[in-house]
Amino acid sequence: MKAGEEGEFIHLTNNKFTVRDRKENSDIIFGMHPVMEAIKSGKEINKIMIQKGLQGNLFHELRAMLKGSMVNIQLVPVQKLDSITRKNHQGVICFASPVTYHDLETLVPVLFEKGEEPKFIILDGITDVRNFGAIARTAECLGYNGVIIPAKGGATVTSDAIKTSAGALMTLPVCRVTSLKSALDFLVNSGIKLVACTEKTDDSIYDFDYSGPVGIVMGNEETGISNDLINRVQYIGKIPMTGAIKSMNVAVAAGIVMYESVRK
């Protein structure tokens, strides 16, 4: 249904109205009680925006519910919330995920039990949903078993990301974890070799043995892969380049490394 204001679409689900925002392109839920009910129901949530300075019993109850969760919480001025919806948001807007995230520690044993050799792509600080979607599309095309993202500080699954991935994010398992460091430790302890793609080395990604279970770590184009993660991988390699520009789009770079892992 077309809403009565620019920038929003309203649709009816289970007799409750939710709003689809053009900027975020993901379902949003607003108002204290609706957001709290969404959390209680176990609905997958990408982030929650809360008005700065908000007070009251319901607000403190909401904060208590979110304590220790993987939900990204952003404190924003009321003008930011008003720009998303002019409805009575009560200082709270929740951005729900269109997919269900997978539990990494459950997924890995299941893959091994099926006789598969798991292959994962791990994204450290990749915030652009277009790059995220493009990487997921390549991973799905090459038969990867999943993509691992941080709960905070990275892109999440939104409608824009799904569109960029050509629908791959609807089928490729996405594991959202509270700590990438712990996730890498778990992968290594599970027998999965890790390789980090970075220009801060003289070794080539083409010299790594990709046979068996493997996880590829990709970092933010500006800051690269964090040292905490670099210290947890078994191999560090770079993509050889001969041009004047010594950097590459992260989605393109991820595609090169993932294809190399499958080709080998």
pLDDT in tens, 210-223: 999 999 999 998 89
Residue 14 has pLDDT above 60, yes or no: no
CATH of domain 104-263: 3.40.1280.10
**pTM for the full model?**
0.82
* Both structure tokens of 191: 């027998």
109-130 pLDDT, tens digit each: 999 999 999 999 999 999 999 9
Residue type, 132: F
Q: Is the pLDDT of residue 227 over 60?
A: yes
Q: What pLDDT is attached to residue 192?
A: 98
CB neighbour list of residue 57: distance below 8 Å, 6 or more residues apart: none
Mean pLDDT, the chain, rounded, equals: 88
Q: How confident is the model at residue 70 (pLDDT cuts 50, 70, 90)?
A: confident
Q: Is the pLDDT of residue 23 over 90?
A: no
Write down the pLDDT at residue 41. 84
pLDDT of residue 5: 35
Domain boundaries, the chain: 8-96, 104-263
Least confident range of 12-16, 87-91, 167-171, 182-186: 12-16
Q: Which helix (H) or strand (E) element contains residue 28?
A: strand 27-30
Section 163-169 average pLDDT = 95
Q: Please give the CATH number for the structural domain made up of 8-96.
A: 3.30.1330.30
pLDDT of residue 4: 35
Query: With 50 as the cut, is the pLDDT of residue 25 above it?
Result: no
User: For residue 93, which of 80, 110, 103 has the smallest C-alpha distance?
Assistant: 80
User: What's the CA gap between 48 and 264, in Å, rounded?
Assistant: 42
Residue 7 has pLDDT above 70, yes or no: no
Contacts 24+ apart (CB under 8 A), 3-12: 5/86, 8/85
Q: Which of 28-32, 55-59, 62-66, 131-135 has the highest mean pLDDT?
A: 131-135
pLDDT of residue 171: 95
In the chain, pLDDT over 70 holds for what percent of residues?
A: 90
- Number of residues written out for the chain: 264
